[in-house]
Each structure stands twice: as C-alpha cells, then as structure tokens.
Amino acid sequence: MSLQELYRQVILDHYRNPRHRAPLSDPDVSSEGANPLCGDEVKVDLRLRDDRISGIAVTGKGCSISQSSASLMSEAVSGNAVSEALGLSRRFQELMHVPADSSENGFSDLGDLLALSGVRRYPVRIKCATLSWVTLEQALGEPGMPGTAEDPG
Ligand code: ZN
C-alpha cells in the first residue's frame, strides 16, 4: 500500500466513523465555525479540568475533508493539556501552509494528522482541513487564523 493510499484510508475511516461525535452534557466552552466557500460547519464542545481537555465533542456537516479533519482533531487533542492542543493546532496549520511538493518529514510529530497533508495540493480545500482547528482555538479563547472561521452570517 502506498503512503497516499494509506492516507486516503485514514481519511475515509474518520469520515465514515467520526470520533467523539457524542454530545457533551455540560461543556465548559463551545465554539462554532463555518467555511462558507464549501458549506462546511463544525461545532466543538469542550470540558476542561485543570487546564486539560478532559472531554470533547465535535459535530457538524460538510465535505469529507472538513469532517474527517474534525474527527482527527478530536482524537489528537482529547486528554491533552490546553497548551499542547494549541501547539498541535499551530503545527497542523503550519503543515497546511508549506508548499505541497515539499516533504512532510519535519512534521512527524503530527502522527495521523499527516493523512491530510495531500490537501495542500488543493489550496481551496485547506480551509476545510483547518476549520475544526480554528474552531478549537476559538473555543479555547485563542484568536485563530484571521478570517477563517468567523462567519458573520
Ligand atoms: Zn469542505
């Protein structure tokens, strides 16, 4: 199996069997994000204990990239310290903004999130992949990337 095929399988698996979909009964913080270009919507609910993400629920609708990315994000940050989750978010958004033909070798810390590295070849889809991360940052009170998840409508 080629690396590209492996990545495709990971994305399909998360799209078909999204993780952390069950709603949280008493989230401490929530945020909603939208990518009007593609019609993607993501809602992130978090339960925070001692500066850690002790519970996460991600719901939404949209294309396979946005929804699989949201599932991958939920799995990657669940149980993390808030600072770790924000660091991972920065790293993922860095990956999305390095040229598509450059190697992702320097990003091995991203683990399964690398499955989305092929999205870089389709610049219009990068916002699909980053939507859930920007929404996570908003929920945590971080400003996020400018103009990405703020939908005035
Ligand atoms: Zn999309």
How remote is the CA of residue 139 from the centroid of ligand 1, in Å? 20
How remote is the CA of residue 66 from the centroid of ligand 1, in Å? 5
pTM, whole model, 2 decimals? 0.90
How remote is the CA of residue 35 from the centroid of ligand 1, in Å? 7
How remote is the CA of residue 80 from the centroid of ligand 1, in Å? 26
> What tokens were used for 53?
């993400």
Per-residue pLDDT at 144 exceeds 70: no
How remote is the CA of residue 49 from the centroid of ligand 1, in Å? 32
Contact of 123 with 129, CB cutoff 8 Å: no
Per-residue pLDDT at 146 exceeds 80: no
How remote is the CA of residue 86 from the centroid of ligand 1, in Å? 22
pLDDT digits (tens, 9 = 90+) for 21-69: 999 989 999 999 999 999 999 999 999 999 999 999 999 999 999 999 9
How remote is the CA of residue 131 from the centroid of ligand 1, in Å? 9
Average pLDDT of the segment spanning 67-87: 98
Contact of 136 with 85, CB cutoff 8 Å: yes
